[in-house]
């Protein structure tokens, strides 16, 4: 045990935490009131001397209030370890005491955002499996103290923690900036473009509010209308706008990949993967193999062309919670030999040899065709009926082939392979996702049928794991019952621990 710190008595975070808490409060108020501040600054010259005094006094009192609150939050935030429990006391007016037994702790995470890096401290978060939010967040703690706290909790031997790699081991994977560029070129640029446009729309709404404050709404609307008319009547401008959007899509993909996965390195240890990555927010994750619920290997045509894929590890979360990003760990830019190394370290890959892919019943394909063509018919009929745009029918020459190819790809990529101990499930349209699950980690299994499925003698099989659910759609009832009984048998007879 680390004897450098005595955690049996209440301990506080670093005094630098006051600065972190203070900045967080100021940022939160600026985020929701920057437009109001802009109007105050814009008309500041029109304010009387008394008004100026009240503005300065109000700002000073507000900043002082945040400083006092940050100091009180710091002083009242205390933690200790007693009898295998992490105990936290916090609050100002409403004080709370939290006690978490070691066996409930799933992760201990080390993070550093830009401010943490500047003042040389870390944020430490302690999470439990199935919680929707982080149980404990220590905003500012010295690295030595954080490591000592982690070491004490790790003595329970039942949790996974984040650590910072200090050894000289050769990494399983190390991704350079050039390789990150290759990864970004193979990303879903359309998705990133939509995110960018959503941010742009939000920013435009703020500009409208500012224009209203200046009384220039008509000028702004006239400029937009004039620009839209010029864009609609000029093929060259339309072409340039399309090129601009494509470039924005590529740039936004690269920026996102670069910020999240900068300096990505992965180490394979005896019983864990250590993953380090991040630019402004550095993260170091030690992912125990025992706690990995599923892995998903994903690729697309561009990734296959340059010989890379990405691997997603999923840890335990509540069955009703699937948005906790910290529970989903992704390694990008993996080459085929690295993927095989990861698979061999987790599974008995030889079990998958010579296994044939099993596909859903033909009802699955027919259902997709019916729903897709029905939706397309509704869209086209609505456009023709309300807008009288009969020329839209010419687009069917492009839409129909794309739709047919997409359905064909979706059906081809939906399969499963069942071995003695594992289940591999495939899906996708443009991208291909293959998920591997150890059968004994299934928590719940159910067989579902709609009215129409009963008539066709098919059913869906839903496997619930601690990281989410996996669905096998439209299997024959005989096949679904066999899988249902076999998975139950593997779960009930297994003596392995997965938490």
In tens digits, the chain (499 residues) has pLDDT values of 556 788 888 988 899 989 999 998 998 888 777 667 766 666 666 667 787 787 788 888 999 999 999 999 999 999 988 888 889 999 888 888 888 887 777 667 788 888 888 888 888 888 776 555 556 888 898 888 888 887 787 665 455 444 444 444 678 888 888 888 888 888 776 666 666 666 666 666 555 555 555 555 555 555 555 555 544 555 566 667 667 777 877 787 888 888 888 889 888 876 778 888 888 888 877 777 877 889 999 999 989 988 899 999 988 764 444 444 446 788 998 988 889 888 888 888 788 888 899 999 999 999 999 999 999 999 989 988 887 778 888 888 989 999 999 999 999 999 999 999 999 999 999 899 999 999 999 989 999 999 999 999 999 999 998 888 999 999 999 999 999 999 999 999 987 765 5
- Read off the tokens for 14: 């670093």
What DSSP designation does 356 have?
P
Q: In the numeric block, which tokens belong to residue 262? A: 């900068």
Query: Which residues lie below 8 Å from residue 484, measured CB to CB, with a gap of 6+?
Result: 445, 447, 461
**70 and 115 share a domain?**
yes
Residue 206 inside a domain? The answer is yes
390 and 320 in one domain? no
Q: Within a domain: residue 166?
A: no
Mean pLDDT of the chain: 81
Q: Identify the domain boundary among 228, 261, 294.
A: 261
Taking the chain, what is the end-to-end CA distance rounded to the nearest angstrom? Answer: 24
pLDDT value of position 278? 87
- What was the pLDDT predicted at 134? 53
126 and 66, same structural domain?
A: yes
Instruction: Give the tokens for residue 134.
Output: 């982080």
C-alpha to C-alpha distance for 302 and 322, rounded to whole angstroms: 28
Q: Are residues 423 and 405 in the same domain?
A: no
Helix (H, G, I), strand (E, B) or coil at 62: helix
The domain containing residue 326 runs over which residues? Answer: 265-360+414-493
Cα separations (Å) of 230 from 1, 197, 411? 72, 21, 44
Cα–Cα distance, 74 to 63 (Å, whole number): 16
Cα Rg, the chain, nearest whole Å = 28
pLDDT at 163: 47
Contact yes or no for 25/70 (Cβ under 8 A): yes
Looking at the structure, do residues 69 and 122 belong to the same domain, yes or no?
yes
Angle, alpha carbons 139-144-147 (nearest 5°): 80
Number of domains the chain contains: 4
Which pLDDT value is given to residue 434? 95
**Encoded tokens for 124:** 């430490």
Reported in sequence order, the residue ranges of 234-293 that DSSP labels E, i.e. its strands, are 265-268, 272-277, 282-288
The first and second tokens of residue 473, run together, are 């759609």
Q: Which of 233, 261, 289 is the C-terminal boundary of a domain? A: 261
Which domain-ending residue is among 261, 295, 324?
A: 261
**Is 171 within the bounds of a domain?**
no
DSSP 8-class letter at 78: E
Whether residue 55 lies inside any domain: the answer is: yes
Same structural domain, 276 and 256: no
Of 296, 422, 292, the closest CA to residue 350 belongs to 422
**Does residue 2 fall inside a structural domain?**
no
Q: What is the pTM of this model?
A: 0.73
On whether residue 225 sits in a domain, the answer given is yes
* Residue 400 and residue 348 share a domain: no
C-alpha pair distances (Å), 265 with each of 64, 271, 274, 492? 43, 17, 8, 38
Contact yes or no for 157/149 (Cβ under 8 A)? no
**Within a domain: residue 192?**
yes
Q: Long-range contacts for 241-246 (Cβ within 8 Å, ≥24 apart)? A: 245/193, 246/189
Q: How many helices (H) and strands (E) does the chain have?
A: 14, 20
Same domain for 153 and 192: no
Instruction: Please list, residue by residue across 287-302, b when 16 or more beta carbons sit within 10 angstroms of its beta carbon and e when fewer do.
Output: bbbebbbbbbbbbbee
Asked if residue 368 is part of any domain, the answer here is yes
């Amino acid at each position: 045990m680390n004897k450098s710190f005595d955690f049996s008595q209440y301990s506080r975070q670093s005094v630098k935490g006051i600065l972190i808490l203070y900045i967080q409060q100021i940022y939160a108020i600026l985020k929701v009131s920057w437009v109001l501040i802009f109007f105050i600054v814009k008309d500041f010259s029109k304010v009387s001397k008394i008004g100026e005094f009240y503005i300065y006094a109000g700002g000073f009192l507000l900043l002082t209030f945040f400083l006092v609150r940050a100091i009180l939050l710091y002083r009242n935030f205390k933690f200790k370890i007693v009898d295998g429990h992490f105990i936290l006391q916090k609050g100002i007016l409403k004080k709370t005491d939290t006690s978490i037994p070691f066996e409930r702790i799933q992760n201990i995470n080390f993070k550093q955002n830009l401010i943490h890096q500047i003042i040389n401290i870390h944020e430490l978060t302690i999470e439990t499996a199935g919680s929707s939010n982080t149980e404990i967040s220590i905003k500012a703690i010295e690295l030595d103290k954080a490591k000592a706290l982690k070491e004490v909790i790790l003595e329970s031997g039942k949790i996974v923690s984040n650590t910072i790699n200090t050894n000289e081991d050769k990494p399983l994977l190390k991704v350079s900036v050039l390789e990150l560029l290759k990864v970004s070129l193979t990303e879903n640029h359309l998705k990133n473009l939509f995110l960018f446009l959503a941010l742009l729309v939000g920013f435009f709404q703020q500009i409208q509010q500012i224009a209203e404050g200046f009384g220039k709404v008509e000028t702004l609307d006239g400029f937009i209308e004039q620009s839209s008319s010029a864009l609609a009547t000029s093929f060259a401008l339309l072409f340039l706008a399309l090129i601009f959007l494509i470039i924005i899509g590529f740039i936004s993909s690269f920026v996102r990949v670069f910020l999240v996965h900068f300096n990505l390195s992965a180490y394979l240890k005896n019983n864990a993967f250590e993953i380090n990555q991040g630019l402004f927010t550095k993260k170091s994750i030690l992912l125990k193999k025992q706690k990995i619920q599923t892995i998903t290997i994903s690729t697309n045509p561009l990734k296959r062309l340059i010989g890379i894929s990405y691997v997603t590890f999923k840890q335990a979360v509540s069955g009703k919670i699937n948005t906790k990003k910290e529970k989903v760990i992704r390694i990008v830019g993996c080459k085929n030999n690295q993927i095989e190394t990861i698979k061999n370290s987790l599974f008995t890959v030889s079990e998958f040899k010579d296994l044939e892919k099993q596909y859903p019943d033909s009802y699955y394909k027919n259902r997709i065709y019916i729903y897709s063509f029905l939706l397309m018919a509704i869209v086209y009929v609505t456009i023709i009926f309300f807008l009288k745009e009969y020329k839209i029918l010419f687009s069917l020459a492009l839409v129909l082939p794309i739709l047919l190819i997409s359905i064909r790809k979706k059906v081809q990529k939906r399969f499963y392979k069942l071995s003695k101990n594992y289940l591999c499930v495939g899906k996708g349209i443009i991208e291909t996702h293959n998920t591997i699950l150890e059968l004994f980690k299934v928590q719940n299994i159910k067989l579902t049928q709609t009215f129409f499925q009963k008539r066709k003698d098919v059913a869906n099989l839903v496997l619930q794991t601690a990281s989410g659910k996996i669905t096998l759609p439209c299997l024959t009832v005989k096949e679904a019952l066999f899988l249902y009984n076999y998975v139950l048998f593997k779960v009930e007879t297994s003596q392995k621990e997965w938490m």
